[in-house]
Amino acid sequence: MKRIGVLALQGAFIEHIKILQQLGAKAVPVRLPQELEGLDGLIIPGGESTTIGKLMQKYKLSPVIQRLIAEGLPVLGTCAGMILLANQVAGLDGYSLKVMDIGVKRNAFGRQVDSFETDIRMPILGDSPFHAIFIRAPWIENMGNDVEILAQLQDGTPVVAQEGNIIVAAFHPELTSDTRIHEYFLSLIEGREKCKK
Ligand code: GLN
């Protein structure tokens, strides 16, 4: 059984845990550095990136997460999780792990009242669209050559991207009953296990 850590400092971690369990993985809430060891994957959930960032530093999680990602640990960051993985963050005076070659803008679509839901096309998930819930969401403003865009809004704004073992989504896939993004994440983990053998 795969053991997937879900950073459980603040935000929508319970919903990720439930989806992972539904998909037959063991979900491990992570609050302390030692809880990161021996995981097959890690999810950084949505919430408030400044708060999660502060707590990540306070509990000394950041250097361990950075090392594990550099070693190839598959990571999924959603919304605030995407912000925390980005190399550059516009509108954040706080902290990010700086492990993915993207520049993002916080609260890029506006304030809470500008939160919205929309169907997006994501070819790697098949033909049927994914219902995406954006809550004070960031967007990706720029990216390096090794970053692949997996989904865009109608106007071309990239909202799901991947760089090697890191996947980010600007919205909240854990708040819908569609489990395909989590399944895709678990398939990356499968792939990594096969390579190790
Ligand atoms: N606006 C939040 C931030 O900047 C992210 C919102 C979310 O994760 N839904 O951290």
Active-site residue, 16 included: no
Q: Class of 3-196 per CATH?
A: alpha beta
Whole-number Å distance, alpha carbon 191 to ligand 1 midpoint, is: 30
Contact 41, 6 (CB under 8 A): no
Would you tell me the crossing angle of helices 13-22 and 180-196 to the nearest 10 degrees? 70
Per-residue pLDDT tens digits of the chain, which is 197 residues long: 899 999 999 999 999 999 999 999 999 999 999 999 999 999 999 999 999 999 999 999 999 999 999 999 999 999 999 999 999 999 766 689 999 999 999 999 887 777 899 999 999 999 999 999 999 999 999 999 999 999 999 999 999 999 999 999 999 999 999 999 999 999 999 988 777 66
DSSP string, 89-152: EET--S-----EEEEEETTTT-SGGG-EEEEE--GGG-SS-EEEEESS--EEEEE-TT-EEEEE
Q: Which pTM does this prediction carry?
A: 0.96
Main-chain dihedrals φ then ψ at residue 73, nearest 5 degrees: -60, 125
Q: Domain limits of the chain?
A: 3-196
Give CA–CA dist 167/78, Å, rounded.
9
Q: Which of 10, 56, 78, 83 to mutate to test the pocket of ligand 1 (most atoms within 8 A of CB)?
A: 83
**3-state SS, residue 49:** helix
Active-site residue, 79 included: yes
> Which ligand 1 atom is at minimum distance from the Cα of 51?
10
Contact 60, 33 (CB under 8 A): yes
Q: Does 52 sit in the ligand 1 pocket, CB within 6 Å?
A: no
91-to-98, 133, 170, 186 alpha-carbon distances in Å? 15, 21, 15, 32
pLDDT of res. 85: 98
Contact 78, 44 (CB under 8 A): yes
Q: Does 48 sit in the ligand 1 pocket, CB within 6 Å?
A: yes
